[in-house]
C-alpha cells in the first residue's frame, strides 16, 4: 500500500543526517532555555505572593501580563521577525527578556514589577516561536518534522529537570536565585547568538522579491495568513490542546490540595512521572508511528489525554490519578508527533515567523484562559463536570485537526505575496 503524503513526510530519517553542528547547538540551547524557564514559571505566582508579599490578585496580574502581551502582539511580532530576520529578532528578544526577568528578581515595588513583566511579554511576542522558526529555516523540508519533534522532546526533558532542580535545590518560590539564573542564561544566549549568528544574511527568513513584485503591506499579509485554512484549524487545535494541558497548572493542583492530605507532595511526583514517560516514549514512538495515519493517531492521542484528566477528576483516588496521568502522557506522545509533523510543513515561503507567531498566540491565549478561568469554572461547576469536559474538548480537537489536514510539505506551499 502506498504511503499517504503525511506518512511519507514522517518516514524515519537517520539522526546523523539531521543533527549537524548548527542544529545540535540550537537544540542544546533549547534544552538550557527550557530547563531555566521551568525553574521559574511554575513558581512565579508563589514567589510574588509569598516572597514579595503581594496579594493574590496582584500576583495573578503579574503572571498573566506576559501571556496577554503575546496574545495581543504575537502575530505582529512574527511578521516583524520575518521582515528583519528571524535570528536577529530572536537575538534581540533574548536580551530584552533576560534583562527584564533578571530585574524582576531584584525589584520589589509593584509598579516596577508590572513594567518589567510587560517588557518580558513584549520580548516573548518575538521569541515564543523563535526557536521553532530558526530550526525550520536551518534544515531542508524533509528534516523539519523530525527537528520539531526533537524540540518537543527537549522541551519536556527541560521541564522535568527545571521543576525538580528548582523545587529540590533552589528553594523555588521562596528565593530569587532561580529568577536571576533565568535572566543570566537569557543574556548568555543573547551573547552566543550575537557572536555566532548575528552576521548571517537574513534572506533565509525573507522571500526574495523581484523589482516588479512589490511587497504586500503588513495587514494584507496577516489577512492572507489568517485565511489559510490549515493555519486556522491547526491553531485552534493547539488552543484546545493547551486548554487541557494548562489544567496541570490550575485545576489539577487545586484538586490535589483540596482532596488529599499533603496534596502538593503527591501532585509533584505524579506530574514528574508523566513528563518522564513522555521523554522516554517519544523517541520510540517516532519510529513506531511514522507510517500511521496522521489524523487517526492524533485523534486517539488527544482522546487519551482527555480521558486521563477525566478519569482522575471523576474517580478521584490517587490510583485513578496515576492511571489518568499514564493515559494523559501516552496520548501526548501520540498527538505531539503528528502535530509537529503538521506544524513543520505549515509555514508559507518567507513567512515562517508569522506562522509560528500565530501558533504561539493560540498557545498563550490557551494558557491565559486555561489557568485564569480554569479554576473559576472548576469551583463553579465542580470537579466532575470540569474534568469530564476534557473528554469533549479532546473530541473537538480531533475534528479541528482533521479539518486542517493538507498533506503538503512546506516546499510545496505557495507564498502569501
pLDDT tens digits, 178-234: 999 999 999 999 999 999 888 765 434 334 333 444 455 555 566 666 678 888 899
pLDDT of residue 208: 38
- pLDDT tens for residues 274-316? 888 888 888 888 888 877 878 899 999 999 999 999 999 999 8
The Cα 219–Cα 213 span in angstroms is: 17
pLDDT at 218: 59
The span from the CA of 380 to the CA of 371, in Å, is 15
| CA–CA separation, 288 and 87 (whole Å) | 34
What Cα–Cα distance (Å) separates residue 292 from each residue in 4, 230, 287?
9, 20, 10
Separation CA 116–CA 122 (nearest Å): 10
Would you identify the CATH topology of the domain 5-202+228-412? Growth Hormone; Chain: A; (1.20.1250)
Rounded to an integer, the average pLDDT of 103-119 is 93
Q: Which of 337, 368, 338 is nearest to 124 (CA)?
A: 368
Tens-place pLDDT, residues 349-379: 777 878 887 888 888 888 888 876 777 788 7
Write down the mean pLDDT value for the chain: 81
Which of 101-105, 160-164, 333-337 has the lowest average pLDDT? 160-164
Most confidently modeled range among 221-225, 242-246, 311-315, 339-343: 311-315
What pLDDT band is residue 14 in, cutting at 50, 70 and 90? Answer: low
Between these two residues, 19 and 3, which has the higher pLDDT value? 19
Which tens digit of pLDDT belongs to each residue from 39-58?
888 778 778 888 888 887 78
Terminal C-alpha separation, the chain: 38
Give one DSSP letter per residue of 269-301, joined into a string: HHHHHHHHHHHHHHHHHHHHTTTS-HHHHHHHH
pLDDT in the model for residue 411: 41
Percent share of the chain, pLDDT over 70: 86
Q: What are the extents of the domains in the chain?
A: 5-202+228-412
Amino acid at each position: 500500500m502506498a504511503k499517504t503524503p503525511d506518512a511519507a513526510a514522517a518516514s524515519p530519517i537517520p539522526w546523523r543526517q539531521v543533527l549537524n553542528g548548527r542544529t545540535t547547538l540550537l537544540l542544546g540551547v533549547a534544552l538550557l532555555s527550557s530547563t531555566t524557564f521551568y525553574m521559574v514559571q511554575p513558581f512565579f505566582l508563589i514567589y510574588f505572593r509569598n516572597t514579595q508579599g503581594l496579594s493574590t490578585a496582584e500576583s495573578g496580574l503579574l503572571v498573566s501580563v506576559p501571556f496577554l502581551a503575546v496574545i495581543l502582539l504575537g502575530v505582529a511580532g512574527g511578521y516583524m521577525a520575518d521582515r528583519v530576520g528571524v535570528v536577529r529578532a530572536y537575538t534581540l528578544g533574548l536580551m530584552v527578556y533576560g534583562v527584564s526577568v533578571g530585574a524582576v528578581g531584584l525589584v520589589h515595588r509593584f509598579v516596577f514589577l508590572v513594567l518589567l513583566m510587560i517588557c518580558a511579554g513584549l520580548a516573548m511576542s518575538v521569541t515564543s516561536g523563535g526557536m521553532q522558526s530558526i530550526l525550520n529555516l536551518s534544515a531542508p523540508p524533509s528534516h523539519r518534522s523530525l527537528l520539531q519533534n526533537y524540540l518537543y522532546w527537549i522541551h519536556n526533558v527541560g521541564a522535568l529537570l527545571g521543576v525538580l532542580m528548582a523545587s529540590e535545590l533552589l528553594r523555588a518560590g521562596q528565593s530569587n536565585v532561580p529568577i536571576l539564573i533565568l535572566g543570566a542564561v537569557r543574556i548568555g544566549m543573547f551573547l552566543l547568538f550575537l557572536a555566532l549568528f548575528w552576521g548571517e544574511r537574513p534572506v533565509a527568513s525573507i522571500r526574495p522579491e523581484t523589482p516588479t513584485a512589490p511587497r504586500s503591506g503588513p495587514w494584507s499579509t496577516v489577512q492572507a495568513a489568517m485565511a489559510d485554512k490549515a493555519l486556522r484549524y491547526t491553531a485552534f487545535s493547539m488552543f484546545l490542546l493547551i486548554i487541557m494541558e494548562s489544567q496541570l497548572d490550575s485545576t489539577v493542583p487545586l484538586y490535589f490540595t483540596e482532596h488529599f492530605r499533603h496534596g502538593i507532595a503527591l501532585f509533584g511526583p505524579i506530574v514528574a512521572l508523566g513528563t518522564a514517560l513522555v521523554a522516554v516514549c517519544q523517541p520510540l514512538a517516532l519510529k513506531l508511528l511514522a507510517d500511521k495515519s496522521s489524523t487517526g493517531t492524533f485523534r486517539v492521542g488527544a482522546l487519551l489525554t482527555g480521558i486521563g484528566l477525566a478519569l482522575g477528576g471523576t474517580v478521584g483516588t490517587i490510583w485513578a490519578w496515576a492511571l489518568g496521568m499514564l493515559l494523559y502522557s501516552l496520548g501526548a506522545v501520540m498527538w505531539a508527533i503528528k502535530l509537529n509533523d503538521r506544524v513543520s510543513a505549515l509555514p508559507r515561503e518567507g513567512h515562517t515567523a508569522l506562522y509560528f507567531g500565530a501558533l504561539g498566540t493560540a498557545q498563550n491565549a490557551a494558557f491565559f484562559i486555561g489557568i485564569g478561568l480554569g479554576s473559576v469554572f472548576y469551583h463553579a461547576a465542580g470537579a466532575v463536570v470540569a474534568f469530564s469536559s476534557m473528554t469533549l474538548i479532546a473530541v473537538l480537537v480531533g475534528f479541528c485537526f482533521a479539518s486542517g489536514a493538507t498533506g503538503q510539505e512546506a516546499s510545496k506551499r505557495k507564498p502569501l505575496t
